[in-house]
Chains A and B, each alone.
Chain A
């Protein structure tokens, strides 16, 4: 009898100890999960976007996109027997309705995107012509950062990408190299973005005072209008580094996206800086990523950015001086943008 009691004691103790493990399942079941079926993946993508994408009201206003209507329109295309490739195409088409370069779907065999922000407009850019201005003896300030001094004593600085930071010491070296120039042309055409920090750091070398260049918000809930208060984005002068106070012309086209768009927005708010060219491509939402049940990764704009007047910059920044590349210039190997910028700076020297 005593032995039986001993067994019972141990069994009861073990059961009591293991009970909380079973309770954990109840917690798990309460979570919403989507099935790894065509319908499940479709619903997961639609819901992730519905709860986290930040530009629904703007896209409805500007593009007439009704996200519920989009779901109703695409849902019939999803059948049990749809192939993975066909499903990918349908899902890409669905999110492509938002015409947002920060909205992508990634699978092992393709990268779904809508680049109409760039492809629907004139390029206003020729790599060969740009290279002819840089020549072969240009200096390299980092990955994607190239510069030289043009014949009329104007600095020419190409920023191909903000994927990497240009360190302060390298920016100082560049500004020191151009110290005697009459002005600087910063060419960010076809710069698809990268690190916001890199663009802000560069901009901080072109101001003598702290300037509020824009605002940003983030989503605080799943509702389309659940946003935080606006947070001011300020560019403060790089106090311990060289700062440029002579004329600056930033060359922009429709290929300027994301961080390059942010750079254009920041520079436009600074004194002595003008934007020349075409409206930028936009990309005014800080992106985040999530994942579908089948492992495909979805990226979406999550935190909207605004300019200093609280206007969305998702559809780009308008230039101060509107310029298009001329066919005759292209034929002659001339870059209309660079030539207009040189003219502007030279005029500024004569008529400050």
Chain B
């Protein structure tokens, strides 16, 4: 068990406890968080700060942990009535971390980026609760740079996959103040992953054109990955702020090596609502 997992557990228990004891009540729909209507787009831009934990046996047998900074955007678009899906949701994130081994040495830098798109329908819709479900297409890329490895300092892994997205929203009020809690979960189920073939030097890929040796079919067993967001949306005067916690886990057992990059970070974001002029364009 690593520090970041322990940390996220404690935060989860704490969050559950706080929500359990607060004098909250589920009421009818409040206007703190509404899904976008037709030709509407809701976008949240966030910045985050948190912890990162990694192990990549292509680079090292040790587990590394450290701190990261992150930027995220989440966009919901109302598709009715012309599209297959009711809503489109995109999530993109960029995280940059600085890690050390357990002895405080072996500096490693991590950079990861992800882009998820999901088309969603309403599975449950009440005045105070929305459950959206749908398929998702996603891609993630992780780069680790181990400063002390002179000959194999970098490992790059990633995937393009299809999976699921679940989006829960509960609206309630605390001390008559409308608040929404949103929890979103993305997970790839199948796709194509990129990782070097065991101890293959990276320059073999382009020098000898061995692209086939670095592509692998992925599933949840050889490429366990998910992104989980829990966000609190609160009104501040006429604005909407989003305070959240994101846990992003990218793991794989491709090419004979075991890797994981676990990132947990708190975010602070700002909710914007646009009218859509044409598909993909907002004004």
Contact = CB atoms under 8 A, between A and B. Distances in A.
A209 to B, nearest CB: 20
A173 B129 CA distance: 75
B12 A21 contact: yes
Interface stretch (A122-130, A216-224, A311-319): A216-224
Interface stretch (A62-70, A178-186, A235-243, A283-291): A283-291
A297 interface: yes
Interface residues of B, number: 57
Nearest to A196: B203
Contacts of A31: 55, 258, 260
B103 A291 contact: no
A302 B181 contact: no
Interface in B224-283: 224, 226, 228, 230, 247, 249, 251, 256, 258, 260, 262
A6 interface: yes
Interface in B200-236: 200-201, 204, 208, 213, 224, 226, 228, 230
Nearest to B12: A18
Contacts of B151: 286-289, 299
Interface centre among A20, A21, A29, A303 (most CB of B within 10 A): A21
A259 to B, nearest CB: 12
Interface stretch (A8-16, A149-157, A164-172, A266-274): A8-16
B198 A14 contact: no
Contacts of A28: 1-2, 5, 260
Contacts of A52: 199
Nearest to A29: B1
Contacts of B8: 18, 21
Interface centre among B129, B213, B228 (most CB of A within 10 A): B228
A25 interface: yes
Contact of B25 (A6, A11, A44, A226): A6
B19 A10 contact: yes
A7 interface: yes
Contacts of A20: 185, 187, 226, 228, 249
Interface stretch (B40-48, B59-67, B76-84, B110-118): B59-67
Interface centre among A14, A27, A226, A297 (most CB of B within 10 A): A14
Contacts of A22: 9
Given A17-B185, A289-B151, A27 B230 contact: no
B31 interface: no
A290 B61 contact: yes
Interface in A189-246: 218-222, 226, 228, 231
Nearest to B13: A18
Nearest to A48: B61
Nearest to A234: B207
A33 interface: yes
Given A21-B9, A25-B1, A221-B198, A14 B19 contact: yes
A133 interface: no
A297 B107 CA distance: 12
A24 interface: yes
Contacts of A299: 150-151
A10 B181 contact: yes
A17 B228 CA distance: 8
A270 B64 CA distance: 47
Interface residues of A, number: 51
B63 to A, nearest CB: 7
Contact of B59 (A219, A231, A290): A290
B46 to A, nearest CB: 18
A21 B5 contact: yes
B220 to A, nearest CB: 10
B260 A27 contact: yes
B162 to A, nearest CB: 18
A83 interface: no
A27 B224 contact: yes
Contacts of B5: 21, 24-25, 28
B62 A289 contact: no
Given A289-B150, A290-B61, A13 B204 contact: no
B197 A303 contact: no
Nearest to B5: A25
Given A289-B152, A291-B61, A21 B256 contact: no
Contacts of B260: 27-28, 31
A32 B200 CA distance: 21
A294 B152 CA distance: 20
A64 B55 CA distance: 35
B61 A11 contact: no
Given A6-B172, A220-B198, A13 B183 contact: yes
B42 to A, nearest CB: 21
A85 interface: no
Given A34-B61, A44-B61, 17 more contacts: A3-B25, A14-B230, A18-B9, A20-B187, A24-B262, A25-B1, A28-B260, A106-B148, A218-B198, A219-B199, A220-B197, A226-B198, A288-B199, A289-B150, A291-B106, A297-B148, A299-B150
16 contacts: A6-B24, A9-B170, A10-B181, A20-B187, A20-B228, A21-B228, A21-B247, A24-B5, A25-B5, A218-B204, A220-B198, A220-B200, A289-B150, A295-B101, A297-B149, A302-B152
List the 10 closest pairs (A to B, CB-CB), nearest first. A291-B60, A18-B12, A219-B199, A17-B183, A295-B103, A289-B149, A6-B26, A288-B152, A14-B16, A287-B151
